[in-house]
Amino acid sequence: MAVADWLAALTRRADLRAKAGLTRRLHPRAAADAVVDLAGNDYLGLSTHPQVIAAATQALSRYGLGATGSRLVRGSTEAHHALEDSLAGWLGTDRALVFSSGYLANVGAVRALVRPRTLLVSDAHNHASLIDGCRISGAETVVTPHADVAAVAAALAAAPGRPAVVVTESVFSVDGDLAPLVSLHRVAREHGALLLVDDAHGLGVTGPAGAGAVAAAGLAGEPDVVVTATLSKALGGAGGVVAGPAEFVRHLVETARTFIYDTALPPAVAAGVHAAVEVARTGDDRRAVLTERAATAVRRLRAAGLDVSNPDAAVVSVTAPGPQAATEWAAACRDRGVAVGCFRPPSTPDSRSRLRLTIGAGVPRADFEHALEVIVECAP
């Protein structure tokens, strides 16, 4: 294919996406952005917390901008190891391993759990990083209906004697509902399977001392449970973590390609996230704000006749009539100073378009109330 034909084909595909309301655009924001943020994931407002900024600044002056190499070359610093020890203690696991992103942590964890003949049983609403991890692993994958424990049990029962892994989020990123973790673990254990839980939207938001949904379910430290999470949501930083038995973390260090061949998380970010962990562990007041505001958002939006999810944490989704309407709704809110998430196929697992609101404790109360009014007034 000639270069001109290739570029023309890309243009035609972009035109088709535009007609379907699926165009995506980058919107750069200034540091002094005055927009009310109900789109970002800084749940506890820790990205700008003075203790977090001070720790990151000190590490930046000591180590410089980047890690300068992969973790196994020159990228492991005292900041990384201190963060991993802190995360393992918080999550109640033997060990924790920090990756440069939550995406890479999920891909690496899924791949590392796969052995010959392994069956992966994956929830239909799982995040793209888990889906890609399943695909890249090359293992047979059965996708079960959302939060359907009976379907998971049936899939495991249909593969007796095979190693298996049940793959799920804890708080699902699309609608904010909570997976039936206790039941999933019971079924997995009955069939000799492992349970992998992506606690990205639960860590810092739910559980004892904010230790996440896995801890809230009483599964912290179980030898057949592996926990992953991003460090970019409630902890306000960047990076990802995989936590579980010491033997599995050692396996990751020695075999996970997304860990071995990737430049390490910058030490300043690791130090800042470590400080964020310490703040989050004592942040029950912030978590109480999230709970109250999520309930308020549901009540106000439903009173306006909107179709709203039942959130189990700090994610609230509002159904839009279609992808174009969702895009226009989000744009109208942005024009009035309110940022909301806009989820459209293929980012949604059920072909339903949504606005996604992520509740933040750091947003002033008056701004939060105003944002809800704007969302209602801009509704299609």
By annotation, the residues acting in catalysis are: 41, 127, 169, 173, 198, 201, 233
> Which uninterrupted H or E stretch holds 290?
helix 284-303
- Cα–Cα dist 130/123, whole Å: 10
Q: Which residue has the tokens 């001070």?
A: 54
Is beta strand 119-123 parallel, antiparallel or unpaired with respect to 140-144?
parallel
3-state secondary structure of 177: coil
3-state secondary structure of 308: strand
- Dihedrals phi, psi of 361, to nearest 5 degrees: -70, -20
- CA 321 from chain centre, in angstroms, equals 25
- Dihedrals phi, psi of 97, to nearest 5 degrees: -130, 130
- Cα–Cα dist 281/224, whole Å: 25
- Cα–Cα dist 264/16, whole Å: 38
Of 40, 43, 41, 54, residue with least CA distance to 362: 43
Handedness of CA 240, 241, 247, 248 (dihedral sign): negative
* Residue 328 near residue 380, CB atoms below 8 Å: yes
Query: Structure tokens of 45?
Result: 């407002």
- C-alpha distance across the termini of the chain, in Å: 43
> Which uninterrupted H or E stretch holds 227?
strand 225-230
Handedness of CA 348, 349, 352, 354 (dihedral sign): negative
Q: CB atoms < 10 A from the CB of 68, how many? A: 15
- Cα–Cα dist 13/263, whole Å: 34
**Exposure of 379 in the CB half-sphere (CA atoms within 13 A):** 18
Burial class (CB in 10 A: 0-12, 13-18, 19+), 140: middle
- CA 167 from chain centre, in angstroms, equals 14
